[in-house]
Structure 1
Amino acid sequence: MFHKEGQKIIIITFCIVVAAVLAAHYYVNLEWIRFSLQVAALIFLIAILQFFRNPKRRVTRSFDEILAPVDGKVVVIEEVDEPEYFKEKRKQVSIFMSPTNVHVTRYPASGTVTYSKYHPGKYLVAWHPKSSTENERTTVILHTPKFGEIGYRQIAGAMARRIVNYAEEGEQVTQGEDAGFIKFGSRVDLLLPLDCDITVKLNQKVVGARTCIASVRPLDD
């Protein structure tokens, strides 16, 4: 299954690859060059199909857990001063996505969208410390039953040139549902309350809509 954001690119790529394979067949005389060009064209098509894949995820929904919004690797766990919306300290968990990861963004929790804003910006590499505030990005805030307000930020990387965000203010959303897409390598930051328990570690690989990122701290803590 492929994401709807990739349909146009997949069709165009397929047409180009078919044309390239046929052109090589009819116009390239040296067999090894012809074969190499055809294989390269097919590998390119496979890479595009792999990038836009959208695997179905069976979600075990819970108000007590924040799930990973994307597939990738945890690269930051720290307290930060969040200046855009919360204007106070938050626990930030950042997930880096390589071009080989699934790039669908999924809602990390169920709740109401209270804020959704797009920011144009730079295209620093996604792991750069300033990418959270200087790169092209979208910021989304959800009001949740157990955690109060949480945020996530889709951040473009050096290769990413388009962020797709489906969240609209006032909308009721469900944990694990499709929230958008980031094309060609990127990062997502989660902005969580200080009193939640982070359940992942640095460099841990996470799976969108499956891996628990944070949980509600027990009342006796």
Structure 2
Amino acid sequence: MNPTTYPIAKEGFIFIIPLLALTLFFLLIGYLILGIVFLFLFLFSLFFFRNPKRNPPKDEKAIVSPADGKVIEISSIYEEKFLKKDVIKISIFMNLFNVHINRAPITAKVENIKYTPGKFLPANSRDSSIKNEKNTLLMATQIGFQFLLVQIAGIIARRIVCYAKKGENLLKGEIVGMIRFGSRVDLYIPKDICEISVKIGEKVKAGETILGYLNEV
């Protein structure tokens, strides 16, 4: 089975298995309070690393959210490092209780992946897009439209996981990676190829919530 299809993200097992063992150990030797504490941590780890099945919309032009969470920024900027053009930037903040699996917003090919070390500012701050540790995926649709998906670490998140590989073709809604313990995903799409329908403050689900539509595919 592909690890991205597990109901629990594989990165969670290094927390889940020891916590389960400690829970059983303390309960068996009669340390009820410690057993309950570790049981709570075990259950929270199961909850945090959950990987629910998602059903992307069939409309080929639909752009779906790459992350669960809340839309905290929609802005028009000039992206100067990769795309070198005017783009719409959509930022989604994932709090501790959101699913932290990241998904492809559009069916596309991964043309490049660049990891950038950085700080660990709160992921809901504007500066985090620029200063924080991040992983940038340059992707292109079948007809050559390029866009960026950026995984950004936060003040608690200290590990960005990327399953996608350079040269890989990803379907809309397919898992790209995850970020542990509170983080942010930025999406940069050229202004001339899309219409954005989502609003700041809206709660979104990765792989399902429609952020907008491509003009053509």
How much does 1:21 deviate?
Answer: 3.3
Residue correspondences, number: 209
2:113 paired with 1:116: yes
Using the alignment, how far apart are the partners of 2:23 and 2:84 within structure 1? 49
Using the alignment, how far apart are the partners of 1:111 and 1:191 within structure 2? 14
Task: State the AA in 2 paired with 1:105.
Answer: N
Alignment counterpart, residue 203 of structure 1, candidates 198, 201, 204: 201
2:77 paired with 1:71: no
Could you say which residue in structure 2 is the equivalent of 1:129? 126
Aligned 8 A contact 1:147 1:216 in 2: no
Could you say which residue in structure 2 is the equivalent of 1:18? 24
Q: Deviations over 1:115-148 (max 9, x none)?
A: 2111111100001111112111100011113681
Aligned 8 A contact 1:64 1:146 in 2: no
2:163 paired with 1:170: no
Question: What secondary structure, in the 3-state scheme, does the structure 2 residue paired with 1:38 have?
Answer: helix
Task: State the AA in 1 paired with 2:21.
Answer: C
Greater alpha carbon shift after TM alignment, 162-171 vs 90-99: 162-171
Using the alignment, how far apart are the partners of 2:112 and 2:97 within structure 1? 30
Aligned 8 A contact 1:123 1:158 in 2: yes
Aligned 8 A contact 2:114 2:135 in 1: yes
Q: TM-score, normalised by structure 2?
A: 0.89
Using the alignment, how far apart are the partners of 2:115 and 2:21 within structure 1? 33
Aligned 8 A contact 1:3 1:54 in 2: yes
Could you say which residue in structure 1 is the equivalent of 2:50? 53
Using the alignment, how far apart are the partners of 2:190 and 2:211 within structure 1? 12
Q: Deviations over 1:145-195 (max 9, x none)?
A: 368111110000001011011222221111111111110000000001113
Q: Which has the larger radius of gyration?
A: 1
Aligned 8 A contact 2:83 2:147 in 1: no
Which 5+ residue runs of structure 1 have no aligned equivalent? 27-33
Aligned 8 A contact 1:159 1:185 in 2: yes
Task: State the AA in 2 paired with 1:10.
Answer: I
RMSD over aligned CA atoms reads 1.8
Alignment counterpart, residue 84 of structure 1, candidates 81, 94, 98: 81
2:9 paired with 1:3: yes
Q: State percent identity of aligned pairs.
A: 39
Q: TM-score, normalised by structure 1?
A: 0.88
Using the alignment, how far apart are the partners of 2:197 and 2:63 within structure 1? 10
Question: What secondary structure, in the 3-state scheme, does the structure 2 residue paired with 1:108 have?
Answer: coil
Aligned 8 A contact 1:79 1:89 in 2: yes
Which 5+ residue runs of structure 2 have no aligned equivalent? 1-6
Could you say which residue in structure 2 is the equivalent of 1:39? 36
Could you say which residue in structure 1 is the equivalent of 2:4? none
